[in-house]
């Protein structure tokens, strides 16, 4: 058995599984969504009609994550669709990670429904790592009520690839001596970090499988894909030197938010109210992490799906909502062509915990006061819920005062 053992533990159809469990436990339904053609999806009426998760039987009809609900229903007319419940997902994710902490000293949460566990040396406590993975998988099912796949290998990349093999409720290994048998015959688009466009270019080079990519001269791959080519060539050969396992989530390098409107935005006043809503959430997230940013960008998508964006670097770092909003307004006015808008986004980057000021006699006092006001409002919202304080412009408005807020479970307490 190799000296290093890494588990990748991935919840099967997480959003659907967690919601199905909740609906059964509360008596909301007697039918398990996991046993019928079903999906979690947004509102078609409000242009959020995208499949977020689907059941195995829905997948058998060709339904896949990320496709429009309208298209999914053409494939599966009897598809049962339920709206997302983010509060349920957060609760189950926390329970999932807490259980894993009972079994491994080093846990890296990779996403809301996936984590890596360093099991190196744990065979002295747990016995054979492969046999123990089956025990852990079954414990998660019995205690938490949902199933997982566990991939086992000597590094994060190979364990993640292994967990993506046959689902659900399975344990798979992908050790280095198994790469040629289990990994290389797979289509190149199955490799982690290879997207649709990259796979298309690779096939244009005559590279159709992961094994063919692994056997290609790395200089050829690098010449076509630059640094990204070097990464995927190493991944195809099972090397993941750039993916060290960390026992805590890496600091956020950027904070952003966007919203797809359920109507065409044609006037500046409405657009600015939406931008303010987005900035409210971004600012609150920054302050919750005690972070400051120095770059702000605005992105727009019009009714013909033309994308545009513009960014600027601030002279000082900030986490003040009003400063982010003032900058976003400036960028919006420089960017918007008055075409009807369907999506607006505000993103920030170059985040860090260090604060520095480029003194401006006209603005320093203003933003210092606003910073204290922001902190006071954050405190009230944290105690009484996100909807406890809102700006007057959002009263009787169809724009949420905090678009896609920090935690939908905390909207009202």
What is the phi/psi pair of residue 256, to 5°? -150, 170
Tell me the chain's radius of gyration from C-alpha atoms.
24
User: Which ranges of 108-182 does DSSP label H, i.e. alpha helix?
Assistant: 123-126, 129-144, 156-163
Tokens representing 236? 């195809």
Nearest to 38 by CA among 11, 56, 65: 56
Distances (CA, A) of 370 to 100, 145, 317, 381: 41, 46, 14, 16
Q: Which of 114, 280, 322, 386 is catalytic?
A: 114
Q: How far apart, in whole angstroms, are the C-alpha atoms of residue 410 and residue 413?
A: 6
Distances (CA, A) of 320 to 43, 107, 279, 361: 32, 33, 9, 17
- Give, for 377, the enclosing helix (H) or strand (E): helix 364-384
Tokens representing 398? 């169809």
Per the annotation, the verdict on 114 as an active-site residue is yes
Please state whether beta strands 171-173 and 148-153 pair in parallel, antiparallel, or not at all (unpaired).
Answer: parallel
CA angle 80, 115, 226 (to 5 degrees): 100
Any idea which residues carry the catalytic annotation? 114
């Amino acid at each position: 058995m190799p000296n290093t053992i890494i588990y990748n533990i991935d919840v099967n159809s997480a959003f659907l599984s967690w919601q199905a469990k909740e609906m059964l436990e509360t008596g909301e339904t007697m039918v398990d969504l996991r046993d019928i053609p079903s999906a979690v999806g947004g509102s078609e009426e409000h242009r959020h009609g995208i499949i977020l998760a689907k059941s195995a039987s829905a997948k058998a009809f060709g339904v896949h994550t990320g496709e429009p609900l309208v298209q999914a229903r053409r494939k599966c007319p009897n598809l049962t669709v339920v709206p997302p419940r983010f509060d349920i997902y957060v609760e189950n994710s926390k329970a999932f990670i807490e259980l894993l902490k009972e079994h491994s000293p080093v846990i890296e949460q990779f996403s809301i429904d996936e984590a890596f566990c360093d099991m190196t040396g744990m065979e002295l406590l747990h016995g054979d790592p492969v046999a123990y993975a089956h025990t852990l998988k079954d414990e998660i099912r019995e205690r938490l009520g949902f199933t997982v796949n566990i991939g086992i290998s000597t590094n994060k990349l190979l364990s993640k690839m292994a967990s993506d093999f046959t689902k659900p409720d399975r344990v798979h290994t992908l050790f280095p001596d198994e790469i040629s048998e289990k990994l290389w015959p797979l289509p190149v688009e199955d490799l982690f970090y290879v997207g649709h466009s990259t796979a298309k270019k690779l096939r244009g080079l005559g590279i159709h499988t992961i094994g063919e990519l692994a056997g290609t001269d790395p200089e050829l791959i690098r010449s076509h894909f630059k640094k990204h080519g070097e990464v995927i060539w190493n991944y195809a050969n099972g090397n993941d030197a750039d993916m060290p396992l960390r026992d805590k989530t890496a600091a956020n390098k950027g904070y952003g938010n966007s919203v797809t409107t359920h109507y065409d935005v044609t006037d500046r006043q409405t657009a600015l109210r939406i931008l303010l809503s987005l900035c409210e959430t971004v600012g609150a997230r920054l302050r919750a992490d005690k972070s400051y940013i120095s770059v702000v960008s605005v992105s727009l998508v019009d009714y013909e799906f033309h994308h545009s964006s513009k960014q600027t670097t601030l002279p000082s770092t900030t986490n003040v909502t009003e400063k982010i909003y003032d900058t976003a307004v400036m960028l919006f006015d420089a960017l918007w062509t008055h075409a009807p808008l369907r999506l607006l986004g505000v993103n920030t980057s170059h985040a860090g915990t260090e604060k520095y000021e480029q003194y401006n006699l006209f603005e320093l006092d203003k933003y210092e006061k606003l910073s204290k006001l922001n902190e006071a409002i954050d405190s009230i919202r944290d105690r009484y819920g996100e909807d406890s304080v809102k700006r007057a412009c959002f009263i009787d408005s169809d724009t949420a005062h905090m678009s896609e807020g920090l935690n939908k479970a905390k909207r009202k307490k």
